[in-house]
C-alpha cells in the first residue's frame, strides 16, 4: 500500500528511484511517479506499472530525487492524482503515504491556491508554500505538520534547498544510512541494495537528510533514534529460479520455521501466565494464526483468551491494566492492529507483539515482542509468515518442548503432495467451502482467505457442525468443499459433515492422514500427532490457491485490489 523512496547522494538518481520503486511494488499500487530537483522541479508520473513509468522519466542530473507508488484513497487513479504533488509555483514536491482527515478545513484555508489534483497530499504542498513565505524550511515543515490531522509518511523536496525533508505519523518511514548518501523509504527493501543500516522513525518525528548527515526532531526538540541492521539478504527480493515469489516463499517455510522457533518467548509466556485477561488482536492471515494461538492456549495450558479482529477491537473490548494484548502482524505496520494496541495502551494494558519486521511500529509499541525472522515476504499473500506465526504460537504454548524436527518434516512431506489435478478441478467451481473443526478450523479459515485472495472466487470457511445452520442450502453440484480432517476428536464428526455435503451433490476433497472413502479426492498427508498434524495442511491450502490462481491466469504475487501492508484504517 503506497511506497516512498527518497534519495540524496552521488548515485544516478533515476536508477535509485526506479529500483527503489520496483522493490516497493509488492506493497500494491495503481500509479507511480518520480520528482527531481536541480535548477527546477521535474515531475514524471504514470498510471500503471513502474516499468511504464521508467520509459517516461528523463535521466535528470539532480542532487536529490523522490519517488512514490500510489494506492488511490483520495481521488481516482489518474496521472494528476499520482505523486509527487506540487505547490502553485512548482517549487515544492511532496510524496505522501497515509490519509489527511481535515481536508475540507485545509482547502478553505488555501482558497487562493490553484489545485491540480483531488488528493489530500497536494494540500500539504500548498500549506508548506504558505509557511515558506514567512520562515525557513524546517520551521515551515513544523508549522505545516501542526495543521494536519491524520496519518502521514512524508518526503519533501524544495527548490534551492539541498535537503530532503521528512515527517512520520502513523505510517512507516525509515532513513537508510549510507556513506555521504541517505535514503528515505517506507520499506527497507527500497534501499537494502545500498546499505544495511537504517533508522526507523517514530510517530511525531520530522527532520531532514542532506549530503552531510541527518537530523530528527520531535515536538520541537532534536532527538536520537536507534540505528538498526537489516536482518535479511538482498537475494530475498529475487525469485531465485521460481516463477513467482509466492511459490518461493511457500518452499522457504521449512527453513524459516526454525528461525521462529529459535526465538526466546519466556518473557511472553510469563506475561501471559500473570495476565488478568488476554486479548489477541490481528487482521487477515495473522488473525488466523491468532485464532490458533487462542485455541492452543486453552487446550494445552487451560488459559482462556479472546481473539478479536483488529479493526473491531476499539468497538468491542475494554482492556485495563491487567490485560495483556497479543498483537500479531507480519508487517508490524497494519493500521488496524496498531490502532487497537494504542487504544489498549491508553487504558493501561501491556502489549506483546509478534511480527516479522524488526524496527516496525509494532516492536516500538510492544512491551515484549517476538520477531519471526522469516525474511522478506514479497508475495502479497502471507505464506511463510503465517507458518512462522503458528510456530511462535507453538513456542509460546509448549516452550522448549516444541519439536522443531517434527514441524519441518511435516511441512516437507506435504510440500511434496501433488495438488495440480485438484487445482484443475477448482477452476470449474465458483462456490468454495473450507471446513475444519476445533484446531483445524483456523486452518480452514486461512484456506478460504488464501483461495479468495488469489483466485477471486467466493470462498468461505465453516466449522463442519455449522453447515446445518444455513450453509447447507448452498450445497449442490456447483459447490466445491475442501475438508481438513486430522485424526483427533473431530474426525468422526467431520466424516458426517463430508457425507452431508456429498449427499447434496458437492464435489468434496479432503486432506487427512486417515481413510476417508466418501470423498472425491483425498490428499493423504503423513500421520502426525496433534497439534503437529496442523502443519501438514498449511502447504496444501497455500498450493491449492497458488496453482488455481496460475491456471486462471492471475498474478499470484499481486492479487487485484490487495496490498501487502495496509497502513491506512
Ligand atoms: C494475507 O494473505 C493477506 N495479505 C492479509 O490478510 C494480511 O494477513 C493482513 O492484511 C494482515 O497483515 P499483517 O500481518 O501485516 O498485519
Q: Is 564 a catalytic residue?
A: yes
480-499 pLDDT, tens digit per residue, is 999 999 999 999 999 999 99
| Strand 205-210 with 197-200, pairing | unpaired
Mean pLDDT of 95-114: 93
- Give the Cα separation of 194 and 182 in Å (integer): 10
pLDDT band at residue 28 using 50, 70 and 90 as cut-offs: confident
Mean pLDDT of 417-424: 96
The per-residue pLDDT for 234 is 74
Mean pLDDT of 127-134: 96
Mean pLDDT of 401-414: 96
Query: Phi then psi for 554, rounded to 5 degrees?
Result: -85, 165
Which of ligand 1's atoms lies nearest the C-alpha of 385?
14
- Give the Cα separation of 264 and 229 in Å (integer): 20
Query: DSSP string covering 118-136, please?
Result: S-HHHHHHHHHHHHHTTS-
pLDDT band at residue 13 using 50, 70 and 90 as cut-offs: very high
Higher pLDDT, 561 or 296: 296
The per-residue pLDDT for 567 is 77
> 287 alpha carbon to ligand 1 midpoint, in Å?
8
Q: 407 by DSSP, 3-state: which?
A: helix
Confidence check: pLDDT of 388 > 80: yes
The per-residue pLDDT for 74 is 76
Confidence check: pLDDT of 120 > 80: yes
Q: CB of 472 within 8 A of CB of 412? A: no
> 286 alpha carbon to ligand 1 midpoint, in Å?
6
539-555 pLDDT, tens digit per residue, is 999 999 999 999 999 99
Q: Cβ of 432: how many Cβ atoms within 10 Å?
A: 23
Q: 331 by DSSP, 3-state: which?
A: coil
Which of ligand 1's atoms lies nearest the C-alpha of 566?
10
Q: Which three cell numbers stand for residue 195?
A: 546499505
Respond yes or no on whether the N-terminal peptide bond of residue 74 is cis (omega within 30° of 0): no
Residue nearest to atom 2 of ligand 1 (CA): 381
H-assigned helices in 90-203: 103-109, 120-132, 137-145
pLDDT band at residue 25 using 50, 70 and 90 as cut-offs: confident
Residue of 2, 54, 248, 457 marked catalytic: 2
226-263 pLDDT, tens digit per residue, is 999 987 777 777 888 999 999 999 999 999 999 999 99
Mean pLDDT of 390-409: 97
Name all domains of the chain by residue range, CATH numbers in brackets: 3-232 (3.60.20.10), 242-402 (3.40.50.10490), 417-562 (3.40.50.10490)
Mean pLDDT of 222-226: 95
Residue of 13, 248, 294, 564 marked catalytic: 564
Residue nearest to atom 7 of ligand 1 (CA): 284
Its sign, for the CA torsion 378, 384, 390, 396, is negative
Q: What's the gap between Cα 540 and its chain centre?
A: 22
Q: Cβ of 459: how many Cβ atoms within 10 Å?
A: 24
Confidence check: pLDDT of 430 > 90: yes
Please list every protein residue whose CB sits less than 6 Å from any atom of ligand 1: 283-286, 329-331, 334, 337, 380-382, 453, 565-566
Percent of the chain with pLDDT over 90: 90
The per-residue pLDDT for 1 is 67
| Choice from 284, 289, 453, 565 to test ligand 1 binding pocket (greatest atom count within 8 A of CB) | 284
Which of ligand 1's atoms lies nearest the C-alpha of 355?
14
Q: Cβ of 104: how many Cβ atoms within 10 Å?
A: 8
- Give the Cα separation of 483 and 508 in Å (integer): 7
Query: Structure pTM?
Result: 0.85
The per-residue pLDDT for 418 is 93
Confidence check: pLDDT of 98 > 80: yes
What burial letters (b/e) apply to 149-163, b meaning 16+ CB within 10 Å? ebbbbbbbbbeebeb
Which of ligand 1's atoms lies nearest the C-alpha of 336?
16
> 531 alpha carbon to ligand 1 midpoint, in Å?
23
Query: Phi then psi for 69, rounded to 5 degrees?
Result: -110, 130
- Give the Cα separation of 451 and 542 in Å (integer): 8
Its sign, for the CA torsion 116, 1, 47, 5, is positive
135-145 pLDDT, tens digit per residue, is 999 999 999 99
What burial letters (b/e) apply to 286-298, b meaning 16+ CB within 10 Å? bbbbbbbbbbbbe
Average pLDDT, the chain: 95
Query: Phi then psi for 194, rounded to 5 degrees?
Result: -105, -30
Residue nearest to atom 13 of ligand 1 (CA): 329
Confidence check: pLDDT of 101 > 70: yes
Q: Which three cell numbers stand for residue 334?
A: 497494519
> 99 alpha carbon to ligand 1 midpoint, in Å?
20
Q: What's the gap between Cα 369 and its chain centre?
A: 17
Helix/strand/coil (H/E/C) assignment for every residue in 90-101: CCEEEEEECCEC
> 498 alpha carbon to ligand 1 midpoint, in Å?
30
- Give the Cα separation of 264 and 388 in Å (integer): 14
H-assigned helices in 435-475: 441-455
> 138 alpha carbon to ligand 1 midpoint, in Å?
36
Residue nearest to atom 5 of ligand 1 (CA): 284
The per-residue pLDDT for 432 is 97
The per-residue pLDDT for 75 is 83
Q: Is 395 a catalytic residue?
A: no
Amino acid at each position: 500500500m503506497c511506497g516512498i523512496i527518497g534519495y540524496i547522494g552521488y548515485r544516478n538518481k533515476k536508477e535509485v528511484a526506479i529500483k527503489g520503486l520496483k522493490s516497493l511494488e509488492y506493497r500494491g499500487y495503481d500509479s507511480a511517479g518520480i520528482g527531481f530537483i536541480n535548477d527546477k522541479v521535474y515531475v514524471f508520473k504514470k498510471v500503471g506499472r513502474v516499468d511504464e513509468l521508467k520509459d517516461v522519466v528523463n535521466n535528470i542530473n539532480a542532487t536529490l530525487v523522490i519517488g512514490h507508488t500510489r494506492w488511490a484513497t483520495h481521488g481516482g487513479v489518474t496521472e494528476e492524482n499520482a505523486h509527487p504533488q506540487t505547490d502553485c509555483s512548482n517549487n515544492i514536491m511532496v510524496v505522501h503515504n497515509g490519509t489527511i482527515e481535515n481536508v475540507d478545513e485545509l482547502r478553505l484555508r488555501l482558497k487562493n491556491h490553484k489545485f491540480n489534483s483531488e488528493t489530500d497530499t497536494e494540500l500539504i504542498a500548498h500549506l508548506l508554500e504558505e509557511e515558506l513565505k514567512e520562515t525557513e524550511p524546517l520551521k515551515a515543515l513544523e508549522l505545516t505538520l501542526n495543521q494536519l490531522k491524520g496519518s502521514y509518511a512524508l518526503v519533501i523536496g524544495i527548490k534551492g534547498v539541498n535537503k530532503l525533508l521528512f515527517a512520520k505519523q502513523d505510517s512507516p518511514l525509515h532513513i537508510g544510512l549510507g556513506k555521504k548518501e541517505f535514503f528515505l523509504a517506507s520499506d527497507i527493501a527500497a534501499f537494502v541494495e545500498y546499505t544495511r543500516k537504517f533508522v526507523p522513525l517514530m510517530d511525531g518525528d520530522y527532520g531532514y537528510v542532506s549530503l552531510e548527515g541527518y537530523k530528527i526532531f520531535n515536538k520541537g526538540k532534536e532527538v536520537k533514534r536507534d540505528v538498526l541492521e537489516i536482518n535479511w539478504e538482498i537475494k530475498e527480493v529475487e525469485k531465485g529460479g521460481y516463477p513467482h515469489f509466492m511459490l518461493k516463499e511457500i518452499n522457504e517455510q521449512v527453513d524459516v520455521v526454525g528461525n521462529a522457533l529459535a526465538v526466546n518467548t519466556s518473557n511472553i509466556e510469563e506475561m501471559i501466565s500473570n495476565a488478568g485477561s488476554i486479548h489477541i488482536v490481528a487482521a487477515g492471515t495473522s488473525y488466523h494464526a491468532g485464532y490458533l494461538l487462542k485455541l492452543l492456549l486453552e487446550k494445552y495450558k487451560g488459559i482462556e483468551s479472546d481473539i478479536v479482529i483488529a479493526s473491531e477491537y476499539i468497538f468491542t473490548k475494554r482492556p485495563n491494566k491487567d490485560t495483556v494484548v497479543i498483537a500479531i502482524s507480519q508487517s508490524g505496520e497494519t493500521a488496524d492492529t496498531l490502532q487497537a494496541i494504542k487504544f489498549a495502551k491508553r487504558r493501561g494494558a501491556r502489549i506483546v507483539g509478534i511480527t516479522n519486521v524488526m524496527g516496525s511500529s509494532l516492536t516500538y509499541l510492544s512491551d515484549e515482542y517476538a520477531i519471526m525472522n522469516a525474511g522478506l515476504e514479497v508475495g502479497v499473500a502471507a505464506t511463510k509468515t503465517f507458518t512462522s506465526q503458528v510456530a511462535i504460537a507453538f513456542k509460546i504454548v509448549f516452550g522448549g518442548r516444541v519439536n522443531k524436527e517434527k514441524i519441518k518434516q511435516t511441512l516437507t512431506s506435504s510440500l511434496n503432495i501433488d495438488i495440480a489435478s485438484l487445482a484443475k478441478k477448482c477452476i470449474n467451481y465458483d462456490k468454495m467451502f473450507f471446513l475444519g473443526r476445533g484446531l483445524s478450523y483456523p486452518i480452514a479459515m486461512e484456506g478460504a482467505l488464501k483461495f479468495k485472495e488469489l483466485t477471486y472466487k467466493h470462498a468461505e470457511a465453516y466449522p463442519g457442525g455449522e453447515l446445518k445452520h444455513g450453509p447447507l442450502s448452498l450445497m449442490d453440484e456447483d459447490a466445491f468443499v475442501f475438508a481438513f480432517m486430522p485424526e483427533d476428536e473431530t474426525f468422526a464428526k467431520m466424516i458426517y459433515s463430508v457425507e452431508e455435503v456429498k449427499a447434496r451433490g458437492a464435489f468434496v476433497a479432503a486432506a487427512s492422514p486417515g481413510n476417508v472413502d466418501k470423498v472425491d479426492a483425498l490428499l493423504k498427508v503423513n500421520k502426525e500427532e496433534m497439534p503437529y498434524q496442523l502443519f501438514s495442511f498449511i502447504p496444501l491450502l497455500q498450493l491449492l490457491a497458488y496453482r488455481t490462481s496460475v491456471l486462471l491466469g492471475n498474478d499470484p504475487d499481486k492479487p487485484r485490489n490487495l496490498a501487502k501492508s495496509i497502513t491506512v484504517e
